[in-house]
Amino acid sequence: MIGRLNHVAIAVPDLEAAARTYRDVLGARLSEPLALPEHGVTTIFVELPNTKIELLEPLGPDSPIARFLARSPEGGVHHLCYEVADILAARDRLIATGARVLGDGTPRIGAHGKPVLFLHPKDFQGTLVELEEA
Ligand SMILES: CC[C@@H](C(=O)O)C(=O)SCCNC(=O)CCNC(=O)[C@H](O)C(C)(C)COP(=O)(O)OP(=O)(O)OC[C@H]1O[C@@H](n2cnc3c(N)ncnc32)[C@H](O)[C@@H]1OP(=O)(O)O
Ligand SMILES: [Co+2]
């Protein structure tokens, strides 16, 4: 069911500092910052030949990454995003297996303008999983 690894997300306390590290130290190509208030994050994507790194900074008081950063103030790997061909079919199949789809189960539009869903980390070896329709 899952396809390509779309991105690895890293929660960071300071997006500009993280962008400098990837651009100036690691020599990577970066997107412009994108504020996504409905997701409570600002993102910068690091473009790699085979996948992307999503740098995530909290945005607003209800950011879903605030608690993560409270536990890991220097930041860390936050989620993996896999592509699926049909997100509603993937959701229904996952629910049938007993996996917990976060929120109300309705896909929302993510950073790439495509529908996304999140799966509970406790059901996937302690890793938060995002699905994005390809
Ligand atoms: C820009 C859009 C999009 C894109 O297109 O790419 C994005 O990526 S947005 C990214 C941000 N959005 C989200 O993360 C949405 C989904 N997340 C959530 O609903 C919540 O963050 C959560 C995963 C349910 C966690 O909720 P929270 O209240 O922060 O945590 P708890 O304290 O209740 O944690 C319970 C339990 O889970 C562990 N945990 C929490 N976050 C992670 C994580 N990222 N990876 C692994 N494990 C995680 C946490 O440690 C707790 O464990 P125990 O202490 O053992 O109970
Ligand atoms: Co993501």
Predicted-complex ipTM score? 0.97
Catalytic residue among 57, 130, 132, 133: 130
132 is catalytic: no
CA distance 9 to 111: 12
pTM above 0.90, yes or no: yes
CA distance 79 to 36: 17
CA distance 85 to 76: 28
Query: Which residue segments constitute the domains of the chain, with CATH numbers given?
Result: 2-133 (3.10.180.10)
**pLDDT of the chain along its 134 residues, tens only?**
999 999 999 999 999 999 999 999 999 999 999 999 999 999 999 999 999 999 999 999 899 999 999 999 999 999 999 999 999 999 999 999 999 999 999 999 999 999 999 999 999 999 999 999 99
Residues with CB under 6 A from ligand 1: 9, 36, 39, 41, 43, 54, 56, 64-65, 67-68, 78-79, 81, 102, 110-111, 116, 118, 121, 126-128, 130
Q: Count of CB atoms within 10 A of residue 1's CB?
A: 11
CA distance 131 to 5: 10
pLDDT at 61: 86
Q: Identify which of 42, 46, 15, 14 has the alpha carbon closest to the alpha carbon of residue 30.
A: 46
